[in-house]
Amino acid sequence: MTISITIKQADNFSFTGVKTLSNDLGLIERDGDLTFNHDIFEKYKCKFNHQFTEEIVVEVETGIYTVTNYKKVKSFDLFYSRNNNLLFFIAPNKVVNAYCKQLHNDLGITIHNYTFDFLRIVRLQNSTKVVNFKVEDIHIDNKTFNGVDVENNDEVKEALANDKATYMVLNMDVANEPRSIGFSKKGIIVIQNKIYATGEVPEPYLKCAHDILLAIRAID
């Protein structure tokens, strides 16, 4: 099972109750707090009527049609770290970006993108399996290298040094557990392991993401 968590930074995010978005686009509702790793996480339930632009086939009473634009309600959880002013969205990145824009427009909440320092992560972990990076070539846009010690490849070294890498996968020890973790330059953590909830850890993927940030020294 693969779970992606999009991380953002926020200013003055905390609020209580239910806030609705304009034009019936959705809502955000406070749903209690969680505490772990010496941090308090405010939980929010989110709904967003997101517009998708892609071709699909739909069947209705009058027949079968092809449409290129449609709306779909997405429900997901959002967690706000008080200590670090970070937002953790357990939702697709496209939905998250559109939702954040709507939160800013309707509620005046300022939300910033979060960027990983890939070179720092590689130096700290030294267990990279996959690196994808942009290239300036008339035939291709990206290259992907994978394998043991891929970070020692000369092209990969150059891409990391010049901040060209866009995605990488590492084997990591996260809170004393072996994990396979993907990092996107867009501020996305991809957890490639199944993690089960327990009474002590009701949101295991949130905790894993926070543990990862601690492991790469992105937060204290």
| pLDDT per position as a tens digit, 46-58 | 999 977 666 767 6
In a domain, 220, yes or no: no
Amino acid identity, position 202? P
DSSP E strand boundaries for the chain: 3-11, 18-20, 26-36, 39-60, 63-81, 86-90, 110-113, 128-134, 142-146, 165-174, 177-184, 188-191
Mean pLDDT over each residue of the chain, to the nearest integer: 89
Q: Which residue range is the domain that position 174 belongs to?
A: 118-215
Dump pLDDT digits (tens) for 92-101.
998 999 999 9
9 and 35 within one domain: yes
pLDDT value for 31: 95
3-state class (DSSP) for residue 106: helix
Residue 29's pLDDT band, with cuts at 50, 70 and 90, is very high
pLDDT value for 204: 96
126 and 183 within one domain: yes
Q: Provide the number of structural domains found in the chain.
A: 2
- Among 113, 147, 162, the domain-final residue is 113
> Is the pLDDT score of 67 beyond 70?
no
68 and 92 within one domain: yes
3-state class (DSSP) for residue 162: coil
- Among 53, 85, 113, the domain-final residue is 113
**Residues facing 34 on adjacent strands:** 41
- Among 51, 84, 113, the domain-final residue is 113
Q: What is the pTM of this model?
A: 0.88
Residue 123's pLDDT band, with cuts at 50, 70 and 90, is confident
pLDDT value for 214: 95
